[in-house]
Structure 1
Amino acid sequence: MRNNRITELFGIDYSIIQGGMVWVSGYKLASAVSNAGGLGLIGAGSMYPEVFREHIQKCKKATDKPFGVNLPLIYPDIDKMVAIVIEEGVKIVFTSAGNPNTWTAKLKAKGIKVVHVVSSIKFALKAQQAGVDAVVAEGFEAGGHNGREETTTFTLIPMVKEHLEIPLIAAGGIASGRGILAAEVLGADGVQIGSRFAVSTESSAHIKFKKMVTELQDGTTQLTFKELAPVRIIKTSTIKNC
């Protein structure tokens, strides 16, 4: 994607963000994406505070380019994680799974760029009111945890765009140049990609998982825990057949 509000906001070459995925996106993946000109994110959701600090420190040694972290706000040690972000001088934080009002002001007071992940117009506007610098609008087909609204990415993006003043990042089901172009045409300033980066060499996922993901077809994933915390997974029958 060409230079735009996202590349200017983060100081990167391409408006492509690697999603901060639990168990998958440690410092090796984040630094590789950042070194390639995108924005790499360390996924804090699966890390204890001391492990999180270690990954940040290793990432700073592995790249001199901008990188960030993803902080799920429901994390039990979120106060410790925020303190580590500030102490280690991280300049970009993507928040998810919680109220952006809780930490945005404190992070921004330290000169940190804050982006919040949303799944609807309602929550995009709440994030904007909270003072975030951009939002990630994630469609229902995204891997991992989803919102309950069941709005698909390419339906959600143009609707959110009409109501938002801050930069908009599209996420959910985007894994190719064609998908990036489609998101841009619909109004996105950038894209966040998860599964495609999860199968990369630098991802910490197991090689068998990577192979399985690359071979998935339509109908081979399903949504679970819809009423509590929706999450898209690979169907058990698919795993047995691999």
Structure 2
Amino acid sequence: METKKYVRIIRNVSKYGDMTGQIFPSLGTWEDSYKIDGPDGVVYVRKRDVEVIVTENRRPKVDERVLITEVLLSSGDYKIGDIYTVRSVVDIYGTITVKEHSNCVISREYDVIVNSEVKNEETDGMENVNQTVIDNAKTVFEKKDDKYFGYKSRFGDIVIGGAYSYSFVVHYAKTNQDVVIIPGDENTVTTPVCTTLEERLWKPDEAEIPSPRYLHC
């Protein structure tokens, strides 16, 4: 079974510019960097600035996650680099529906994710715990100075590397589930999700139990 490794640039927008947020097939490593084929030739991207996504080219199972690697039939619902959760497998060819939108995705447009993590060789045990929180979040903002920068979004409604105000982040957290902030210190994360149903603008599933790690907005 074919396995591929992709890297998504998630940090340091000032250094990587328009490449931030995009995925690139890994061409190998060199010291503390991944080698990728950028728009103007080979680029070396620091390991601490990327998310590593390992995939397999196969038919997925329900609830597995897939990475969009090519767009052939989309009407604009998805783009290369998006990550979705499989709702159903439609046919023997591997066409799927996903939980995040109503369009079908054909087998040539995705790979099945078997591992996804942010590589940072400076991480310790606590950072690994925090990374699990980040990986499970639907949207992440990273605070730098007085701005909050888009770090990732499974909904595609946040510009990766885009700057947002605190008031926007709070409203977004009230409107959407599983929002995480990296408050300038990579060793800590916060989850500014409202603790009471009355404060939430989004409606949780009846079976959902509020997590004790959620903080007041």
Normalised by the length of structure 2, the TM-score is 0.31
Larger relative strand fraction: 2
Larger relative helix fraction: 1
Indicate the structure (1 or 2) with the bigger Cα radius of gyration: 2
Normalised by the length of structure 1, the TM-score is 0.28
